[in-house]
Structure 1
Amino acid sequence: MSIRSLQRTTLRDQCLDGLRSAITSGQLPAGHHMVETDLSSAFGVSRGTLREAMRRLEQEGLLVAGPRGQLRVREINEGEIGHLYQVRAALEVLAARSLCLHDDFAARLEILRGCLQRLHEVQNDLGEQIEADLTFHRTLCELSDNPVLLSSWLALEGPIRITVMHAGLERALHNMSADRHDHLLNVIAQRDPTHIERVLFEHMDEAAQRLMRAMEAQSAG
């Protein structure tokens, strides 16, 4: 396991980031049982620090407890992916429509443009690309000024990360491409609620379909 040891500063947060990245990248694959002794040694942290990080990932939905209480990386099936992206689309449509109603819409749109610029800058780094993609969508929800909407979206973020590993590199890169998000931002900039709803649902449906096709291909293989 090529997980590098962590510096002795903010160990829990670094361990949390490292575990999250290892899960999202597939280094710790779906269904993998989290063996504390192996992981604490790999990360160079105590088992107590590791447990704190794993508890956080369980809250995020990246880890689940098995029958005996041992944590493992969450597995997601095709049906769950479809439902996940339907709910995600509904939340982000509501966020975008709410954003359009703000008097300072232009200023808020510039914040989203900054997130999109970051996505353009990291197109050759899968890990950073994942973070930039999620930051764009999370920021859209934050800018709605609806805390219930945001907390609902955050509850989906862990499972969304899990779906990335199912996609395979080519499909993951397509779903997170800057060009797809350029189009999305341009539509939001027009402040047409009906158009926004159609395009956002199409955006999410395309991503979900690619993920589900990847799972079908893996099952067939």
Structure 2
Amino acid sequence: MEAERKAAQLSGDTTALLPVLPFHEKITYRAGNKTICCLEGGRIGIQYETSFAGEPCDLYHCVLESKSFLEKMTVLEHTVPFFLLIREAENDFLSSNAMKFIDHMGDLLQAYVDRREQVRLIKELYGNQIGELYHSLPYHMVEFFLDDFDCKVTLSLKYAEDLRSVLPTGVSVLAWPMHAVTMNTKEETQPIPTRLSYAEDALRSMSLPEAYAEIVLNLPQVLKETYPQENFA
């Protein structure tokens, strides 16, 4: 069964994945990446399908329940990662607009998977150039540095606090030359970092793998122009 499920996921046949869930025989309709079902006892089941670069990724589900028409709906069970704050969304949306809650969670899940897969892809493609990489659980804060040059470059990305963005809203890219201009303090001598605005612009407007390729392609020339006294390869 698990082998069939993985094969169906790779082939993009999401209908073959539905029997994994308890409400697969009562599908009412599909809306975007969501399959919404009416279940027994006044419950509603939602299956969320996520993707990256056109390929299917993770499946998540959520079951909503209302014991009577006079009571608001609540989340009975779900497979949403805890750091996506489903209970906060339940309090904000579910009592007044169930569809808004359903759409909101779909946006959260897709954005989370997109950010996660962007990070996974740069590690897979450029792992030999990337030093230590840090990220928060929902991947809304990412930081790493490049160590394949004679200059340490740190990249820090912050995404919107609502966790629904796939492009960073806050970006900082700094180059730290190893032997370049320094400033003297009473305690020690420290290198002066330079802000790489072209790299920040790329990260704000492109996916992380695309922006990374653009940054690395132009980095040697930018470093030569910024620090003409240095010998950058």
Give the TM interval when normalised to the shorter protein: under 0.3
Which structure is richer in relative contact order (CA contacts within 8 A, separation 6 or more)? Answer: 1
**Superposition TM-score, scaled by structure 1 size:** 0.28
Higher share in strand:
2
**Superposition TM-score, scaled by structure 2 size:** 0.27
Higher share in helix:
1
Structure 1 or 2, whichever has the larger Rg, is 2
